[in-house]
Amino acid sequence: MKPARSPLSHPQPDACDLSRRARYEYGAALRKGTARARHGLWHAPHGRPDPVGVLIAQGASRIQDLLPVRYARMLVSPLAFLRGAATIMADDLAHTPAAGPMVQGCGDCHLANFGSYASAEGTPVFDINDFDETLPAPFEWDIKRLGTSLVLAGRQGGLSDGASRRLAVSMAQAYATEMKRLSLFSPLEVWANPINLSAAIAGFASKQARTQAQALLAQRMESARGHYGLVDTRQPMPALRERRPLVMRLPAHDDVIRKAFARYVATQPAELGVLLARYRLHDVIFKVVGIGSVGLFCAIGLFATVDGDMLLLQIKEAQQSVLAPFAGLSSFSNQGQRVVTGQRIMQAQSDLFLGWTHSAGQDRGATDEAGFLGAGRQFYVRRLKDARLAAVGSDVTPEGLPDYAHLYGRTLARAHARSGDTAVISGYLGRGRSFSDAVGSFSILYADQTRADWDVFCKAVRTGRIVVA
């Protein structure tokens, strides 16, 4: 295991000491050590771990009753399997070429982890929206995982391999083009540069994709006003509704969540504490989230004032990033802080309520059966997002995939630019054609690998090695 390091300690020139031009030339020189065409290569390394065994080992520290739900979701398709197999691909990516530039990586970068949310001003913003695996890592890793997901989505939608490959190529080319554009900006301009989804949709080349996306966005921007149908207001005090199998009560774990919420509230900055002091926690309920996270503690907290004004916060368990064995340990002892810090680095507009906390016993310095740093579990907290609005970026028809592929690449470049050296990365990528073609080739090869892993997984289900709901 590599030692812990600062989240922004990059093995590259110091941006404070070298000019933009000098850093660009340094990036271009990196091509001699790692030719861009090499990124198109993939073959399973000798001794590659059994994918089913990796998933079983990962599930050991999760809520066992929920694992069959996770596996049932992964059984649906190779794309669904990829979404739940970030730990498998992290190991594989560690065996692929990397030029050297580091960024704050998403760690689980696939098309379903891009989406929209409303800014504080109510504007729909498009960005990465999942950071459970975030960690400093080679910039290529996120791009290759995203490209693979696009190929699998294209195949699932009935596109040919050629058309599916072009999705990955287009995404990588958009990344290179946007990185080159951002390399000319000042650091402050890069940092404050969100993507307005309405404006992005207006620029879609496909009229059909544009019309569908605009209708979807308008419809879903309304849903937050009704608290997503999760709140029952017929009683004297509001309560959360069950929506099985995704939203359910698990009374045996309620106390853990309530105490973790209490620690969160007590440890927030003074200015946010003033706001939170106006609310009281009235109810908690458990929520089954994305495929990769099923089995982790995740719950919704209903906070309300005496007048019935409501605030819904989501608390979610954070475990060590799947990238850690290959990219190095996080410098943060609390994995929730790792997630929150990564999100604040990568997102142009982050949630006011982002914070981290832990369950009972964390302060004693013990180690529990799941291997946490201290007894207990670690969490991050955010405002409950509208899953339907967030999915605007992934509820895409095959006809809309080319426009969204371009948007994904552009968005990922902006997220990476906030921590990475844009001039170095742009110097390495150049015009982007060689690199994007290589990403297309890798994405096809790794999509085939994912299909083979999924076949092994399906066999494990048939033989009873894996139990599905």
Lowest mean pLDDT among 54-58, 149-153, 289-293, 355-359: 289-293
* Alpha carbon distance 62, 297 (integer Å): 8
Q: Is pLDDT larger for residue 255 or for residue 48?
A: 48
- Each residue of 128-170: pLDDT tens digit? 999 999 999 999 999 999 999 999 999 999 999 999 999 999 9
* Cβ burial, residue 6 (10 Å; 0-12/13-18/19+): exposed
* Alpha carbon distance 335, 320 (integer Å): 6
* Alpha carbon distance 446, 151 (integer Å): 9
Q: Is the pLDDT of residue 428 over 90?
A: yes
Is residue 308 left, alpha or beta, with left meaning phi > 0 and alpha meaning psi from -120 to 50? left
State percent of the chain over pLDDT 70: 91
* Cβ burial, residue 468 (10 Å; 0-12/13-18/19+): middle
Q: What is the DSSP letter of 68?
A: H
pTM given for the model = 0.91
Lowest mean pLDDT among 13-17, 36-40, 181-185, 305-309: 13-17
For residues 243-269, average pLDDT:
87
| Strand order across the 310-317 sheet | 247-248, 280-287, 298-304, 310-317, 378-383, 355-358
- Each residue of 200-222: pLDDT tens digit? 999 999 998 899 888 888 877 76
State percent of the chain over pLDDT 90: 68
Q: Is the pLDDT of residue 53 over 90?
A: yes
Q: Is pLDDT larger for residue 457 or for residue 286?
A: 457
For residues 9-27, average pLDDT:
80
For residues 168-187, average pLDDT:
97
* Alpha carbon distance 377, 356 (integer Å): 11
For residues 400-427, average pLDDT:
97
Contact of 399 with 162, CB cutoff 8 Å: no
For residues 428-436, average pLDDT:
98
Q: Is the pLDDT of residue 228 over 70?
A: no
Name all contacts of 216-221 with Cβ < 8 Å and 24+ positions apart. Answer: 216/392, 216/395, 217/116, 217/124, 217/389, 217/392, 220/116, 220/386, 220/388, 220/389, 220/392, 221/118, 221/124, 221/389
Domains of the chain by residue range: 37-222+394-462, 227-389
- Give Cα separations from 133 to 113, 293, 321, 329 (angstroms): 12, 10, 4, 12
State the Rg of the chain over Cα. 22
Lowest mean pLDDT among 46-55, 110-119, 329-338: 110-119
Is residue 18 left, alpha or beta, with left meaning phi > 0 and alpha meaning psi from -120 to 50? beta
- Each residue of 182-200: pLDDT tens digit? 999 999 999 988 899 899 9
Q: Is the pLDDT of residue 11 over 80?
A: no
* Alpha carbon distance 68, 65 (integer Å): 7
pLDDT of residue 421: 97
pLDDT of residue 371: 36
Phi and psi, residue 408, nearest 5°: -60, -45
- Each residue of 58-114: pLDDT tens digit? 999 888 888 999 999 999 999 999 999 999 999 999 999 999 999 999 999 999 999
Reported confidence tier of residue 266, pLDDT bands at 50, 70, 90: very high
DSSP element (H, E) containing 145: helix 139-156
Q: Is the pLDDT of residue 176 over 80?
A: yes
Reported confidence tier of residue 308, pLDDT bands at 50, 70, 90: confident
pLDDT of residue 168: 98
